[in-house]
Amino acid sequence: MARMSQKRKREAIAGYLFITPNLFGFLVFQLIPIAVAIVLGFTEWDLINEPIWVGFSNYRNLLKDPVFQLSVRKTLYFVLVNVPVQSALALLIAILLNRSIRFKNLIRTLFIVPWVSMAVAVGLTWTWIYNSQFGLLNEILVKVGLDKIPWLAHPDWAMISVIVVNIWQFLGFHIIIFLAGLQMIPREVEEAAIVDGASTLTRCFRITLPLISPVLFYDLIVNVIGTFQIFDLPYAMTGGGPGQATRVYNLYLYQKGFQFLRMGEASAMAVMLFIIIGITTAFFFRVVGRRVNYDLT
Amino acid sequence: MKKPLHLVGEVCFYLIIFAILFVYLFPLIWQFSTSLKTMDEVFRGFSLIPNKPIWENYTISLRDFNVGRYLLNTILVAGLITLGQVLSCSMAGYAFAKLRFPGRDFIFFLYLGTMMIPATVTLIPTYVIVLELGWVDSLAGLVIPFFFGNAFGTFLIRQFLQGVPRDLEEAAEIDGAGYFVIWSRVMLPMAKPALATLAVMTLVQQWNSLVWPLIVTQADTWKVLSVGLAAFRLFRTIQWNTMMAAVVMATLPMIVILFLAQRFFIQGIQFSGLNR
């Protein structure tokens, strides 16, 4: 008995030693910063003078700030266009690819090439393609007899142009996930439906979609959470402009914190982003989550 | 009788798929094409294949626009972080999967709990820490905050090692192996696919990451590619050909690694997308 507990003790010590580096990083660069961010949100601080406690006034000021309101609207717009279009396109291609095919690995890999490419580089490439004067897109438009479009140069067009690039860049990522989901559907189910004489469309809506709804649902949530935090592409392509046309949430947060040095307000913004994401996720679980079919997983 | 029709259908199917892929990847083809053109050709409009490929665009970009420096910094930073993460997460993943110690489940629960919190929340406090330590504009400032791994990596390795049968450890224990030996001689070889997945996912993420290097480097000395390239937008006159050359150099290494390690990328994506 004494030897047993001796062994347990050694095991516990080994356990703590093995997690030490990881836990150190987690505490110093994750857990403590989260706590500090919440505290900083209640202060006014420019990194130089001592922070001043201001209570909830950062939050009150932000809610009244027209640029903040604009950045929330811009971000919501980004999410609401990006997520449905991206999911629908990815699902369509995944269904197309979901059969025994040759070059399967090659095809899947080619679809995730944009995903492994640096967002800044992708953004610059598209800035060139979108170029009003010499860009490829306007070149094509002129060739087919249409007018040039000021893709990134005009406030009415800039946002949708950036969203298109985002949809393009992450499409392959979602294709891979949906394909994996589709392949979890047992062959017999599909075959039984074919025997029963169900048409392709019926099979798609009555069998395929309900059966992969857990995968769809999870992907949707991850996508919404990720898109709320969009930064790299608009930073590289427009910097928030023209005017404030593409000033999404995290761009404004970056500006507040690291250009205006208002660390308190920027921290409050970060905490608010977390709250917004939390509310949205909860909403999704309540409204959409109920219809998800978990029978098969 | 049915065979020829079937064959036509097959061919059509692949034609459609590769047509979609061609359009989908065309922006990258165009990027490469532009990187090899003269400025005259760049503005002359639609021609995919340059008259005479100008490889000097690449050397100009490396030298005159400092891309060589950025490239070296990026390799160093992304490489070091990947090394640290794989090591630290594989150690912790082993402990969480196989060893019993008080507080284990609580700590792991905390890990999972913070995975949902947006990265922006930790940004400012982490910057303050790095500032206080005097690590702004240094390799340490770029690397250390990510070096010890994150919840995602530990979670990935733990899930994988939980599937490793107990007999293997017991056999090693009977041979008198300590925990360190079990970790390095039994667990690490077993976990190779998971380690490779974590490595490529981390490498790509760090190679491409913008926000942290952007705020922690002001001088050119330690700037990485993403930060250096993002500044191109602000130049008054843009030389699209040398810029696209820089862009190719920023993306090509990860594309090559993608093709070398396809399987692990697919696994990594599936893990992050299917795990509930």
pLDDT of residue A223: 93
Tell me how far apart the alpha carbons of residues A37 and A208 are, in angstroms, rounded to a whole number.
44
Check if A158 contacts B (Cβ < 8 Å): no
* Residue B173 scores a pLDDT above 60: yes
Residue of chain B nearest A127, judged by CA positions: B233
pLDDT of residue A185: 83
Check if B97 contacts A (Cβ < 8 Å): no
Of A15, A37, A109, the CB nearest to B104: A15
Name residue A44's beta-bridge partners. A52
* Residue B169 scores a pLDDT above 90: no
Of A26, A114, A267, the CB nearest to B124: A267
pLDDT of residue B276: 44
CATH number of A70-291: 1.10.3720.10
Of A21, A103, A121, the CB nearest to B251: A121
Per run of 10 residues, the mean pLDDT along chain A (length 297 residues) is 73 93 94 94 89 91 94 95 95 88 88 96 94 88 88 92 96 94 82 78 80 88 92 93 92 94 94 93 83 64
pLDDT of residue B77: 97
pLDDT of residue B3: 52
Instruction: Give the residue, A195 or B249, on which the prediction is more confident.
Output: B249
pLDDT of residue B4: 57
Backbone φ and ψ for A35, nearest 5 degrees, come out as: -65, -45
pLDDT of residue B1: 40
pLDDT of residue A3: 57
Tell me how far apart the alpha carbons of residues B215 and A231 are, in angstroms, rounded to a whole number.
13
pLDDT of residue A194: 79
Are the C-beta atoms of A189 and A274 separated by less than 8 Å?
A: no
State percent of chain B over pLDDT 90.
Answer: 59
Write the CB contacts of B203 (distance below 8 Å, at least 6 apart in sequence). B78, B79, B82, B254, B257
ipTM (interface pTM):
0.90
pLDDT of residue A295: 61
**Would the CB atoms of A25 and B149 count as touching at under 8 Å?**
yes
From the CA atom positions of chain B, what is the Rg in Å?
A: 24
**Would the CB atoms of A180 and B94 count as touching at under 8 Å?**
no
Residue of chain A nearest B131, judged by CA positions: A47
Identify the H or E element spanning B108: helix B104-114
Q: Which residues of B fall within a CB distance of 8 Å from A118?
A: 207-208, 225-226, 229, 250-251, 254
pLDDT tens for B32-87 read 999 988 888 888 877 888 888 889 889 988 888 889 999 999 999 999 999 999 99
* Residue B233 scores a pLDDT above 80: no
Tell me how far apart the alpha carbons of residues B120 and A25 are, in angstroms, rounded to a whole number.
17
**Would the CB atoms of A107 and B87 count as touching at under 8 Å?**
no
Of B21, B94, B100, the CB nearest to A107: B21
pLDDT of residue B275: 58
Q: What is the 3-state secondary structure (H, E, C) of chain A?
A: CHHHHHHHHHHHHHHHHHHHHHHHHHHHHHHHHHHHHHHHCCEECCCCCCCEECCCHHHHHHHHCHHHHHHHHHHHHHHHHHHHHHHHHHHHHHHHHCCCCCCHHHHHHHHCHHHHCCHHHHHHHHHHHHCCCCCHHHHHHHHCCCCCCCCCCCHHHHHHHHHHHHHHHHHHHHHHHHHHHHHCCCHHHHHHHHHCCCCHHHHHHHHHHHHCHHHHHHHHHHHHHHHHCCCHHHHHHCCCCCCCCCCCHHHHHHHHHHHCCCHHHHHHHHHHHHHHHHHHHHHHHHHCHHHCCCCCC
Residue of chain B nearest A30, judged by CA positions: B122
